[in-house]
Amino acid sequence: MGWILGDKFDTVYPHKGSIKVLWETKWRFACQKSVYPFHDGNIEDFEPVFAQLIANNTNDALSDAYTLAFLPAAESLEQRASDALESGDTQRASEFLLRAAAVYRISRFPYVGPTDKGLKRDAFERQKKVYLAATSFWTPRIQEHSIPYTHRTSNEASHIPIYVRIPERATADRVIPCVLIMTGLDGYRPDNSQRTDEIIKRGWAVVICEIPGTADSPADPVDPASPDRLLDSVLEYMASRTEIDMSKIIVWGLSAGGFYAVRAAHTHRSRLLGCIAHGPGIHHFLDPGWLSRVEDHEYPFPILAAWAKKYGYDDPEEFRQKAQEKFSLIRTGVVNQPSCRLLLVNGMNDGITPIEDCLTLFNHGSPKEGRFYPGLPHMGYPDSLSAAYKWLEDVMGQS
């Protein structure tokens, strides 16, 4: 089929296979502006690391050499945080720890799975530790909870790790709305500081949960129904929190998490006020033809193997040929059901999940809402965030 992406579909983007071009044309700017994926980061921490990677011609992010290059910078920031704590400066300590977490995040790109071991898993464990240490000085702080996976099957782990941040004013007598963030392929629980700040600033609670096949999620990636069991369990925990108004729950799915937000809008429509699917794939992103060229587009590193593993495939080619039939929300009929309010947000030039996936949803199930940004790539950053927050305000206020 012809893609709305047009000629870019057959284009190999300049940064592919070159850490030098990636840094100089994309990531340096992102780091300077503290935008995805460099939230909480500082360019002075990253510039020397990328200079070393470029000098050593280290272009393979899957290699240990790539990850190892970042660890001294992260460890140095941890030491600076320790020194700040010794002098009683908790604010500076928190800042250094957040910066260390950002360095660990980039070091463990592009993917860590629930069963993965090795250096990237170690970097992720370090990231979680320093991030929670950093946020322990916040008001309100982010708290980690390991909640029962009450709807699990026998082959799934028993608990779901989540992050929770609740404004101090919330009480059993003054319940508040809550946004449930479902994370993506490479962005996990410790990667949402700016979102939690914005949500808390509006007086709402926030819960962060990882999606099947990524990070620490216990949900079976092979089972298309596992996200429903996962969401049932998380919502049950949220209902046990006396501060949360369960009549005002919105799911916000990010990138690969957008797939699950679309699914939730249909499968859990009676329990949700609304959903935001931000950069979602629902059907065409699993098209074998699309997947034949997705490696060439804006994702910073090779993506197909990670994406396959996230859906439970060891062989990327088997994923390319079979995943659409098994997981597509159109093929499985999920999106033909009614849904709660659902906002679709993305860039029109998305080379990871084609804009066709958002547009085709308007022909299925309930009427949808959408905001799409011409000329912008996957997720439509930075313009798309303001639209998402405005929609959240409107929906929370109208309920």
pLDDT digits (tens, 9 = 90+) for 209-266: 999 999 999 999 999 999 999 999 999 999 999 999 999 999 999 999 999 999 999 9
- Same domain? 118 vs 146: no
* Residue 170 confidence (pLDDT): 73
Structural domain of 96: 16-137
Residue 106 domain-assigned?
yes
- Same domain? 114 vs 182: no
CATH number at residue 271: 3.40.50.1820
- Same domain? 37 vs 111: yes
Q: Is 250 helix (H, G, I), strand (E, B) or coil?
A: strand
- Same domain? 190 vs 93: no
Tens-place pLDDT, residues 281-340: 999 999 999 999 999 999 999 999 999 999 999 999 999 999 999 999 999 999 999 999
Residue 4 domain-assigned?
no
Last residue of a domain, one of 137, 161, 189: 137
* Residue 144 confidence (pLDDT): 98
- Same domain? 101 vs 145: no
Tens-place pLDDT, residues 15-59: 999 999 999 999 999 999 888 899 999 999 999 999 999 999 999
Set 94, 107, 233, 255: catalytic member: 255
Q: Please, which pLDDT band fits residue 155 given cuts at 50, 70 and 90?
A: very high
Q: Please, which pLDDT band fits residue 399 given cuts at 50, 70 and 90?
A: low
**Catalytic residue at 255?**
yes
* Residue 100 confidence (pLDDT): 98
Q: How many residues does the chain have?
A: 399
Last residue of a domain, one of 121, 137, 153: 137
Tens-place pLDDT, residues 131-152: 999 999 999 999 999 999 999 9
- Same domain? 112 vs 125: yes
Set 186, 216, 287, 350: catalytic member: 350
The Cα–Cα gap between 273 and 262 comes to: 13
> How much of the chain exceeds pLDDT 70, in percent?
99
**Catalytic residue at 378?**
yes
- Same domain? 316 vs 352: yes
- Same domain? 373 vs 300: yes
Alpha helices in 38-118 (DSSP H): 43-55, 64-86, 90-107
Set 39, 268, 297, 378: catalytic member: 378
- Same domain? 272 vs 386: yes
Q: What is the DSSP letter of 159?
A: E
**Catalytic residue at 383?**
no
- Same domain? 127 vs 166: no
- What total of structural domains would you count in the chain? 2
Instruction: Indicate the pairing of strand 244-254 with strand 176-182.
Output: parallel
Question: Is residue 397 classed exposed, middle or buried when 0-12, 13-18 and 19+ CB atoms within 10 A define those classes?
Answer: exposed
Cα dist from 51 to 19, 22, 58, 124, 184, whole Å: 10, 12, 10, 23, 28
CATH number at residue 95: 1.20.1440
Q: Which of 78, 120, 83 is nearest to 100 (CA)?
A: 78
* Residue 382 confidence (pLDDT): 87
> How much of the chain exceeds pLDDT 90, in percent?
96
Last residue of a domain, one of 137, 157, 184: 137
